[in-house]
Amino acid sequence: MNPIESVLNTDQYDRRRFGELLQVSEKLAKVNEQGEQHIPLFSSLMGDLWAGLFKMQPRLLDEVSPDLNMNQQLMDHIMHDRHYTDFREFTRLDDFASALGASQYSETVLHWIDQQADARQDIQQARDQYQQGLDGASEAFADAVFSALSEQGHSLSQMLTQAAEQAMETKDQVQSLLGGLQAGQGAAELMKVPLGDKLLLAEKLSHDRKLREIAMWAGRMKTIARRKQRSKHSESMSRSGIRQGTDIEHLLPMELGSYASPITKMDFLRRYVEGQTLQYDTQGQEELGKGPIILCLDQSGSMMSQDSVSKGFALALMSIARKQRRDFALIPFSSSVQETLIYKGGKSTVQDMISLATTFLDGGTYFQPPLRKAMELLNQHRFQQADIIFVTDGEATDITSMFLSRWKQLQKERRFSVLTLLLGVESASEVEGFSDRIVKASSFADESIYQAFEI
């Protein structure tokens, strides 16, 4: 876009930034392509929708090219809506939130104009003239849209309010999937994920109900896990100096003031990402160097109804591993075993999240295959002294005495422990041989399950 194509006080930097967003966001690019086919200068409108959400103080220009009259009318209507002002508190100077908002807003405006074209002959004619490349189409479009805004502007406002709510919900879901365990640090961790990856995950969430369910359960489970960890490791923290870091709970008051000030916020965010913000140095009783976590997760057919919550449970355990710098291994199993998924330091990527959400083995239940996989890991130096959590809702008869003998011998050598979560099964006889502790529960909704978060 060149300067004349904007109806806001944008500059070259703003326009270049939006151009980069179109390169990394498949959703934005798709909406842009659809809009350009039907509406004059739609990509310019999208750029202004983004700039209005991102910039610290966006304002409408007093004079614009006649070709931009429609964009100016739409932006004037949007920017004077009180819900828009509230939404800007969420998006301002936030790359990810403003990109989500621009995507939702652009798609909504496009949909609203399509609705108006179905109901109003003047917009339909103007759109036909534009698609045919006729002179005066832009002016006719602007006049028709102005008339529609005068009569149906409230419907656009309602649709934009819903779009804003969807954008905020999507950001929360992405944070639930990618964020860690510590309170207040989800947003900070999200800043470290590449923008393109976050937008990719947001796009997947918009089309994948299962992924949204997993995000919901992950958020709930992480809250419970945080509470369990806090009660177990109730620490007496003492301030013993100042250092640089990214622990939000220990930031100096002056740094919090820098974040709150519009003048210094961007400088704070830059220093925070680079780990240069000042915080209190603390000393506590938190243990470091704990052993890794191995989760053997039943994905047999009977677990289908609990698949989303079980994956939320897995993500909460992974967050514990990340907070405590422990390696995390996930072994999904049924009658067969999928390739073991290893997350060094408990860290995962967007592709990991998508893969986790879209994989379910189905089939019957066998215990020896996942335990053999666990043994392979335990024989590696980095997985010695591991904590194993074995989750199943089934019974299996494939555990042999010879296998149990080898298991017990390896446990003496590698010093690992096994907690088995038995869901909806009365008899524990099939898991007693390889388990140090067994917790029976009706489902993941049973509070006894959460003992696993004390790991």
pLDDT 10s digits, 387-410: 999 999 988 889 999 999 999 999
Exposure on the CB side of residue 249, measured as CA atoms within 13 A:
9
Report the pLDDT value the prediction gives residue 425, as an integer from 0 to 100.
85
Return d(Cα 350, Cα 432) in angstroms, integer. 37
Report the pLDDT value the prediction gives residue 287, as an integer from 0 to 100.
41
What confidence category does residue 181 fall into, taking pLDDT thresholds of 50, 70 and 90? low
- Non-local CB neighbours of 258 within 8 Å, separated by 6+ positions: 264, 265, 267, 268
Report the pLDDT value the prediction gives residue 432, as an integer from 0 to 100.
92
Question: Which class does domain 293-454 fall in?
Answer: alpha beta
Report the pLDDT value the prediction gives residue 241, as an integer from 0 to 100.
67
Report the pLDDT value the prediction gives residue 184, as an integer from 0 to 100.
53
Point out the least confidently predicted range of 225-234, 303-312, 426-435, 444-453. Answer: 225-234
Spell out the SS3 assignment of 261-272. CCCCHHHHHHHH
Return d(Cα 88, Cα 387) in angstroms, integer. 45
Return d(Cα 11, Cα 339) in angstroms, integer. 50
Report the pLDDT value the prediction gives residue 286, as an integer from 0 to 100.
42
Report the pLDDT value the prediction gives residue 288, as an integer from 0 to 100.
39
Q: Is the dihedral of CA 246, 251, 255, 257 positive or negative?
A: positive
Q: Is 383 within 8 Å of 377 (Cβ atoms)?
A: yes
Report the pLDDT value the prediction gives residue 289, as an integer from 0 to 100.
41
Name the phi and psi angles at 320, rounded to 5: -60, -45
Tens digits of residue pLDDT in 10-26: 998 999 999 999 999 99
Average pLDDT of the chain? 89
What confidence category does residue 136 fall into, taking pLDDT thresholds of 50, 70 and 90? confident
Tens digits of residue pLDDT in 349-389: 888 888 888 889 999 999 999 999 999 999 998 898 899 99
Averaged pLDDT, 141-154: 94
- Using the predicted structure, report yes or no on whether residue 137 has a pLDDT greater than 90: no
Report the pLDDT value the prediction gives residue 268, as an integer from 0 to 100.
85
Report the pLDDT value the prediction gives residue 284, as an integer from 0 to 100.
45
Which of 110, 139, 450, 140 has its CA nearest to residue 312?
450
- Using the predicted structure, report yes or no on whether residue 191 has a pLDDT greater than 60: yes
Q: Which residue has the tokens 């006649």?
A: 66
- Using the predicted structure, report yes or no on whether residue 430 has a pLDDT greater than 80: yes
Averaged pLDDT, 149-174: 95
Point out the least confidently predicted range of 115-124, 148-157, 228-237, 396-405. Answer: 228-237
Which of 296, 311, 108, 297 has its CA nearest to residue 208?
311
Tens digits of residue pLDDT in 281-340: 665 444 434 789 999 999 999 999 999 999 999 999 999 998 888 999 999 999 989 889
Report the pLDDT value the prediction gives residue 186, as an integer from 0 to 100.
62
Q: Hey, which bits of 2-61 come out as E strands?
A: none
Averaged pLDDT, 184-206: 84
Report the pLDDT value the prediction gives residue 348, as an integer from 0 to 100.
86
Tens digits of residue pLDDT in 231-281: 765 443 445 567 788 877 678 878 887 887 888 888 888 888 888 888 876
Which of 355, 232, 231, 377 has its CA nearest to residue 291?
377
The domain locations on the chain are 3-191, 293-454
Q: State the pairing for strand pair 278-283/238-244.
A: antiparallel
Tens digits of residue pLDDT in 33-89: 999 988 999 999 999 999 999 999 999 999 998 899 999 999 999 999 989 999 999
Averaged pLDDT, 213-240: 76
